[in-house]
Chains A and B, each alone.
Chain A
Amino acid sequence: MLLFLNQLINGLHVGAIYALIALGYTMVYGIVRLINFAHGDILMVGAYTAVVLITMLHLPVLLVIILVLLVCVLFGVLIERVAYKPLRNSPRISSLITAIGVSMLLQNIALLVFTPTPKPYPISLSLPALQIGTLSIGSITVLTILVSAALMIVLQLFVSTTRAGKAMRAVSEDFDAAQLMGINVNNTISLTFAIGCALAGIGSLLYGLAYPSVSPTLGALPGLKAFIAAVLGGIGIIPGAMLGGLIMGLAESLTKAYISSQLSDAVVYGILIVVLLFKPSGLLGRGTREKV
């Protein structure tokens, strides 16, 4: 029972990180119908930013956290303006290939600048674990789950109640009609990328605390898993990304505990395949109505 609870909590921990990253994929897809394959690499950008700022410039941690977020947001918005915006009216495959290209570019720049040798993640958290009876939950796990839950609530509130949030939903539903309402679509798209990348920046902090080794391909695997989480929950749907992330995290950690640690990825991808077979639009997806 204790093992099960522990694995459940581990699953929530990993799942929360997947969910944070998945939100970026899903929000961007919702608004520009683009799978931003470079999104995972924003994680890597955030991690190296922390490495540079702390090990080389010795800045205080709190300032570093803020700067990491700013750099991630800046990268996200710049990537959209430079790489995706010019292709907005091109066939979707062009921007998809561009997204893969941007991802490769970021990884290779990191390879050139930082070499492939992994560097230790410079931020750590040394608080005592939370004890509930015989159950002990690590402080990083508690922090990750709390921060992610809070962010998801804030995001939900933002999207459903604020002017900018409603504009985002309007643009994602109907690009042209939103413009006819006086909504500046370019700004709304930038805002979407900014929010997605800020979440990825926070994801990079939480990921770094949990897996403190920074390499140029750091973002590839969590990025892929988060993308799958977004598809699993229904791409373009914000609660779907949260649900998908949690399911992936739980499936992964329970498989590792009870079946085999080598099979965990297979089980996760298997779930995706099964879900897509029966519900191609994802768990919370609403049919696949193509816009004309």
Chain B
Amino acid sequence: MLKVEHLDLYYGAIHALHDICFEVEQGEIVTLIGANGAGKTSILHAISGLLPYRNGLVTFAGCPITKMPPHKLVGMGLVHVPEGRRVFARMSVMENLDMGAFTSRSKEDQARTLEKVFEHFPRLKERRRQAAGTLSGGEQQMLAMGRALMSKPKLLMMDEPSMGLSPLLVQEIFAITREINREGVTVLLVEQNAHMALSIANRGYVLETGRIIKEGAAGDLLRDEDVKKAYLGT
């Protein structure tokens, strides 16, 4: 469904991503794990078109999307939940969700999707009139995910959804991610919390200083000695 081939990205003279190749198949949860600064976020930004890259080919659902402006991808079904939630703090929860449905033209469709989002995140329904900036971190993460779901994504790219959340909330967020996946949304998950990410993913890629150093089934990676030592803290 998503294919990244030979992606090279530079920040000025710094070669930040080296020859990144990976694939996400329809229906999967795939995770990119790695330490802070390994280049996980840069990969998502490159795919979304927020960061220009030097070489590489990105295809989504059979379409080349290399160097496509970010706003065009949403309509194709490729949606990015950015790191740090990035909700519109001064807008209400409802307005944030409306922004998520920006590309959808049908009101009925929107209402139906909204119902579904509220099923996943009942707390958002309670707080729909509240300014998004007054929500707790966990609620903001839910809003960021709900907002992304409003555009009916085929592939959801989530960047560090567990960041700054309590262990209980992290579990909740991951459980919902799995639910969303079961309903047919493919997920590309970028995480520092490797254990959590691998426990819900089908496959994973391990990133180190801008290179993919390992890939495999999530279960195998969980048992891999190097991965254990470096990222799982056991």
Q: CB within 8 Å of B: which residues of A? A: 163, 166-167, 169-170, 173-174, 176-185
Contacts and interface: CB of A to CB of B under 8 A. Distances in A.
B89 A181 contact: no
Nearest to A176: B50
B70 A180 contact: yes
13 contacts: A163-B102, A166-B98, A167-B102, A169-B88, A169-B95, A174-B86, A176-B70, A177-B88, A179-B48, A179-B49, A181-B71, A182-B71, A183-B71
Given A174-B86, A176-B50, A176-B82, A181 B102 contact: yes
A125 B144 CA distance: 53
A183 B99 contact: yes
B112 to A, nearest CB: 19
A170 B91 contact: yes
Contacts of A174: 86, 88
Closest 6 CB pairs of A and B: A182-B74, A182-B103, A177-B86, A179-B70, A173-B88, A181-B99
Contacts, number: 66
Contacts of B73: 182
Nearest to A160: B95
Contacts of A178: 88, 99
B91 A181 contact: no
B163 to A, nearest CB: 14
A266 to B, nearest CB: 35
Contacts of A180: 48, 50, 70, 74, 79-80, 82, 86
B75 interface: yes
Contacts of A177: 82, 86-88
Interface in B9-52: 48-50
Nearest to A289: B89
Contacts of A179: 48-50, 69-71
Contacts of B6: none
Contact of B102 (A169, A176, A182): A182
B125 to A, nearest CB: 20
B99 A170 contact: yes
A181 B147 contact: yes
Nearest to B88: A173
Nearest to A185: B71
Contacts of A169: 88, 90-91, 95
Interface residues of B, number: 27
A182 B82 contact: no
A166 B74 contact: no
A242 to B, nearest CB: 18
B91 A183 contact: no
Given A181-B99, A181-B151, A182-B75, 14 more contacts: A163-B102, A166-B98, A166-B99, A167-B99, A167-B102, A173-B90, A174-B86, A176-B86, A177-B82, A178-B88, A180-B86, A181-B100, A182-B71, A182-B151
Contacts of A173: 88-91
A179 B147 CA distance: 13
A41 to B, nearest CB: 31
Interface in B150-198: 151
A217 to B, nearest CB: 37
A166 B88 CA distance: 11
Nearest to B86: A177
B149 to A, nearest CB: 12
Q: Please indicate which of the listed interface residues A163, A173, A184, A185 has the most CB atoms of chain B within 10 Å of its own CB.
A: A173
B197 to A, nearest CB: 21
Q: Please indicate which of the listed interface residues A167, A173, A176, A177 has the most CB atoms of chain B within 10 Å of its own CB.
A: A177
B140 to A, nearest CB: 12
Contacts of B72: 182
B152 to A, nearest CB: 11
B108 to A, nearest CB: 16
A166 B82 contact: no
Contacts of B49: 179
A270 B191 CA distance: 53
Given A167-B102, A173-B89, A181 B82 contact: no
A180 B153 CA distance: 12
A184 B71 contact: yes
A190 to B, nearest CB: 14
Nearest to B87: A177
Nearest to A163: B102
Nearest to A187: B71
Contacts of B88: 169-170, 173-174, 177-178
Interface in B91-108: 91, 95, 98-100, 102-103
Q: Please indicate which of the listed interface residues A167, A174, A182, A183 has the most CB atoms of chain B within 10 Å of its own CB.
A: A182
